[in-house]
Structure 1
Amino acid sequence: MKLKGRLLTAFLIITTIPLLLVCLSLSLIIGYQNNEIKQTYDVKTNSITAISNPVQLLSRLTRGVYNEIVLTAAKAPAKFEEEEYIAYLEKELKGKYSYLVIRKGNDYIYTGNDKRFSEIKENIPAFGEHTGNAEGGLYVDGSSPFLLKQQDFYYSDGTEGSIFIITELDTLIPQIKASAIQLLLSLISIIILTASVLIIWIYRSIIIPINTLHAATNAMKEGNLDYSIEGDPEDEIGQLCVDFEEMRIQLKELIDVRLRYEQEMKELISNISHDLRTPITAIKGYAEGIMDGVADTKEKQEKYIKTIYTKANDLSVLVDELSFYSKIDCDTMPYTFSCINLGDYFEDCLGEITLDLEVKNIEVEYHNDTDNDTKVNVDAEQLKRVISNIVGNSVKYMGNRQGHIDIRIMDGAEFNRAEEVVVSIGDNGVGISARDLPFIFERFYRADASRNSTRGGTGLGLAIVKKIIEDHMGTIWAESEEDNGTTVYFTLRKCKEDVKNEQDTDCGR
């Protein structure tokens, strides 16, 4: 869920759940208080009405007795002086938290509860001064609140008389307070419960992922790039976790590449120091021989000088190869692409290669299975370097057998590459082990770790080949078996029919 959705959900929870819980609590409290009022006052009523208008409730308690008093006052007021009738009225008021008071003139001739009446006596209105609703009674506030129902009448001797029904409110007020306290506590509990649920939900959905990110950043700060985290891409924080994980992976790959590059540079320096040491040692040795007079004949001097020249050329080749690789590795090598006839190009190249290989007792076989007018878009000079490096690598690992190199050009359709041609250069050398084969195109990699002059080199030859072919939008791979030789394949893109200014180019031109 997105953060916007979570905030909306939190808003709905804050507004809806407390409202529902308050309604539920209010319903339970009202039901409870309604039952309490019924048991206490023996009257059925709505609890909300009882709480909002308790006078109306208490008026109902004594309504029957009061109606009887009104009739008696109108027809037979003398009964108010009879003890039996007064006892009857008191019995009717029993259990209704009410008592009777009778006044004759200014004297109270009967009080149902002397102690309670003494507390409110001064609040009793005089004859004819009742200002409230006789049916509903008069609510009198104070330290001891009460409900007063008053009926005035005249005794038989003409004396003014009043009879009062006094209902105490001390029992109802505590219930009203209890209800208010219960509602307040319920509201507080609901707010605390809702806040707790929201805090837990927000903590689990927001704080925990943030803490996870914090732990991941600390781990990364300490150099641990293997600390992986997961996130739900459906929300913003989860997407942040996903982005962080992708950043961690990329950073780890960059650091791994850097460490590998540093390791390769160390290997390169080691290889260079070894490969330079042999010709330099030879040059120094032969030069000292000339200076010390060891070469005391003209033939020896010529031999020493020729050897020095040959070793100097080897050094020049090593330096040129390193310089070229630095350019190609940094993508600063300028290419000059043109459409050339592939068959004519290879025939020219083989004319040069064959002469050099015949001297080394290596036979070259060439086949062109493509159309005579097949053209490819290449840099002729760099393609020559590709062929030269692959053939040179085959010669280096030919062994002490009769050498044979097979060069073949095939149409890419045979390999499901209709827009390309496939070139294969195979030999019958010592081959490459299955363990080493996947790495032969990597920088500074050597399947043979020997450090003799025959199989030396920087280990960059095939890496340069791979880079050049990839820059030509081609693909390169190899197949090999130990003691059965190696075949290197690479592809070149055919020229499109609408390419203008097509031209044939001699090898290396």
Structure 2
Amino acid sequence: MKLKTRLIIAFLTVILIPILLTATMACLFGKYQMSAIEKTYEITGMTTENLSNSVTVLSRLTEKFYHELSQMVEDNPAKMEDATFLEGFNQKLTKKKAYLLVRKGSMLIYVGTDMEEAESVIAGLPGYGDSEMEPENGLYLGGDAQALVKQVDFLYPDEKKGSAFVVMNVRGVIPEVERLYMEMLIGIIVVLILTAAVLILWIYRGVMGPLGKMQIAAQKIKEGNLDFELQAEAEDELGELCHSLEDMRQRLQDNAEEKIRFDKENKELISNISHDLKTPVTAIKGYAEGIMDGVADTPEKMERYIRTIYNKASEMDTLINELTLYTKIDTNRIPYNFNTLSVDAYFADCAEDLSLELESRGVEFGYFNYVDADVKIIADAEQVKRVVHNIVNNSMKYMDKPKGKINLRVKDVGDFVQIELEDNGRGIAAKDLPNIFDRFYRTDASRNSSKGGSGIGLSIVKKIIEEHGGKIWATSREETGTTMYFVLRKYQEVPMYE
């Protein structure tokens, strides 16, 4: 789950859950308090609406006493002048948060509370037979009085008008309702705290779990330990960050392994070059000593010794040139000079050079051109010639037939020109064929082989062809020969429209 989704859910939860839980608690606490009020104050039929209206609740509390008072004044109105009775009745009302007022004529003959408290109520008492009076529910007096008054009118035995008033102060609420409000407030606070705690824990675990893993991974990377795998727990923003960190770790590991491999190859190259240079240097020293010691005592011997020294020096020069070119290739510093070349003319020149060189070395050479005269390529003439000569030299190195033979074929294959160099040498084993273009790879395992070479010739060829946008591959059969193929893209002239 995405972090954004988590936050939206948390936001909605903080709003909705407290509302739902508060409503549930209000219902439960309300029922409990209604039951407590009915039991404590001996009333029935309490509803949630009663609890939400303090006037209604107070009216219900004195409902029984109002009916009792109404019945009593009807049966025995003389009791309304009995101070003992009135005091006893007032004490029962006091338990219900109310008090009694009794009026005879225009005079109050009984006040069941402190006169100062009752003063504002007395000033607002309704008259006899007031049409606005609601005997059952009472009359609400606002202003300073803030009281609910229930009035019972009657006639004293001496025929004077009288009224009994049940007065309830509505400034406060009954304890049970107060407790309900307090419980509701505490419940809301608890719900908010628990909801926030659960959501914080949920978000914390969703965030800190992946962060903890990434922190451990970062520490391992800092210490150079890249041999581990960081797996994302979810497909969210942190999961994407985990994937990015894992990609970075993998790339660092690949770079580290590549550096180790590169260092190993460099050491191998130095070792190979050192070994391959040692052979011609030893020969040069030997023949030079022979000349100095007078062993070459005839013109023929002298010429042979000098020719051998020259050939060995040429071998050294070739090795050094390969090393220099390899360094340029590895740092992408080969100075390519691309030009539009005619395939027919260019490879005809290459074939002429190869023919003279191979003829002098006793190798038969064949050239076959199957492309039209107007076919062109864009290439670096010098580097493509290097490719051809490297392949031919590699073929010569492993030529084991008494009569060597090399063929050069140029073919048109659609958008490309395909060049084939075929020899009748000893061939390459199937297990070695996929690796022949790798740097330093040699099919002969021992450096003591008389074939020599740095092992980077074909890797240079591959690099040059790839830089031309082509590709190279080979087929071979042991004891039969090898064919090297490479392709170069044709030059396509774009017609100009005015």
By the TM > 0.5 criterion, same fold? yes
User: Does residue 58 of structure 1 match 2:61?
Assistant: yes
**Mean CA deviation greater in 51-60 or 18-27:** 51-60
- Equivalent residue for 2:20? 20
Q: 1:133 to 1:411 in 2, by over 3 A?
A: farther
Deviation of the 1:479 alpha carbon: 1.7
Give the Cα–Cα distance (whole angstroms) in 2 for the partners of residues 81 and 407 of structure 1. 143
Q: 1:197 to 1:122 in 2, by over 3 A?
A: closer
Q: How does 1:357-376 map to 2 (within 5 A)?
A: 357-376=358-377
1:489 partner amino acid: Y
- Equivalent residue for 2:451? 455
Aligned-partner SS, 2:420: strand
Q: 1:155 to 1:423 in 2, by over 3 A?
A: same
Give the Cα–Cα distance (whole angstroms) in 2 for the partners of residues 150 and 98 of structure 1. 17
Aligned-partner SS, 1:62: helix
Structure 1 unaligned spans of 5+? 104-119, 140-146, 413-417, 501-509
- Equivalent residue for 1:486? 482
User: Does residue 344 of structure 1 match 2:340?
Assistant: no
Q: How does 1:89-100 map to 2 (within 5 A)?
A: none
2:34 partner amino acid: N
Deviation of the 1:360 alpha carbon: 3.8
Give the Cα–Cα distance (whole angstroms) in 2 for the partners of residues 58 and 478 of structure 1. 107
Deviation of the 1:30 alpha carbon: 1.5
- Equivalent residue for 2:107? none
2:7 partner amino acid: L
Aligned equivalent of 1:472, options 455, 459, 468: 468
Is contact 1:427–1:485 with CA below 8 Å preserved after alignment?
A: yes
1:185 partner amino acid: I
- Equivalent residue for 1:69? 72
Deviation of the 1:72 alpha carbon: 4.5
Give the Cα–Cα distance (whole angstroms) in 1 for the partners of residues 462 and 290 of structure 2. 43
1:410 partner amino acid: K
Deviations 1:127-156 (A, max 9, x none): 9997386965999xxxxxxx9989899987
Is contact 1:72–1:79 with CA below 8 Å preserved after alignment?
A: no
Give the Cα–Cα distance (whole angstroms) in 2 for the partners of residues 199 and 80 of structure 1. 69
- Equivalent residue for 1:505? none
Is contact 2:342–2:376 with CA below 8 Å preserved after alignment?
A: yes
Deviation of the 1:411 alpha carbon: 1.6
- Equivalent residue for 1:281? 282
Deviations 1:61-90 (A, max 9, x none): 4221122234346xx31597699xx7xx98
Deviation of the 1:393 alpha carbon: 0.7
Give the Cα–Cα distance (whole angstroms) in 1 for the partners of residues 495 and 409 of structure 2. 26
Deviation of the 1:429 alpha carbon: 2.0
- Equivalent residue for 2:378? 377
Q: 1:58 to 1:302 in 2, by over 3 A?
A: same
Is contact 1:3–1:235 with CA below 8 Å preserved after alignment?
A: yes
Is contact 1:232–1:242 with CA below 8 Å preserved after alignment?
A: no
Structure 2 unaligned spans of 5+? 103-110, 127-134, 142-147
Q: How does 1:393-408 map to 2 (within 5 A)?
A: 393-408=394-409
Give the Cα–Cα distance (whole angstroms) in 2 for the partners of residues 133 and 197 of structure 1. 57
TM-score, normalisation: structure 2: 0.79
Q: 1:163 to 1:337 in 2, by over 3 A?
A: closer
TM-score, normalisation: structure 1: 0.77
Percent identical pairs in the alignment equals: 44
2:243 partner amino acid: V
Is contact 2:475–2:484 with CA below 8 Å preserved after alignment?
A: yes
Deviation of the 1:52 alpha carbon: 4.8
Deviation of the 1:291 alpha carbon: 3.5
Give the Cα–Cα distance (whole angstroms) in 2 for the partners of residues 261 and 332 of structure 1. 18
Q: 1:196 to 1:480 in 2, by over 3 A?
A: farther
- Equivalent residue for 1:37? 37
2:470 partner amino acid: G
Give the Cα–Cα distance (whole angstroms) in 1 for the partners of residues 183 and 490 of structure 2. 90
Q: How does 1:171-210 map to 2 (within 5 A)?
A: 173-210=174-211
Deviation of the 1:476 alpha carbon: 0.9
Q: How does 1:293-332 map to 2 (within 5 A)?
A: 293-332=294-333
Q: How does 1:121-200 map to 2 (within 5 A)?
A: 123=114, 131=122, 173-200=174-201
Q: 1:390 to 1:79 in 2, by over 3 A?
A: closer
Deviations 1:279-306 (A, max 9, x none): 1122222333334444455544443333
Give the Cα–Cα distance (whole angstroms) in 2 for the partners of residues 292 and 353 of structure 1. 39
Give the Cα–Cα distance (whole angstroms) in 2 for the partners of residues 78 and 210 of structure 1. 84
- Equivalent residue for 2:436? 440
Is contact 1:339–1:495 with CA below 8 Å preserved after alignment?
A: yes
Give the Cα–Cα distance (whole angstroms) in 1 for the partners of residues 449 and 313 of structure 2. 14
- Equivalent residue for 1:425? 421
Is contact 1:50–1:56 with CA below 8 Å preserved after alignment?
A: no
Is contact 1:25–1:183 with CA below 8 Å preserved after alignment?
A: yes
Q: 1:99 to 1:17 in 2, by over 3 A?
A: closer
Q: 1:238 to 1:264 in 2, by over 3 A?
A: same
Aligned-partner SS, 2:62: helix
Q: 1:42 to 1:363 in 2, by over 3 A?
A: same
Q: 1:457 to 1:264 in 2, by over 3 A?
A: same
Q: 1:78 to 1:369 in 2, by over 3 A?
A: closer
1:16 partner amino acid: L
Aligned-partner SS, 2:476: strand
Q: How many residues align?
A: 465
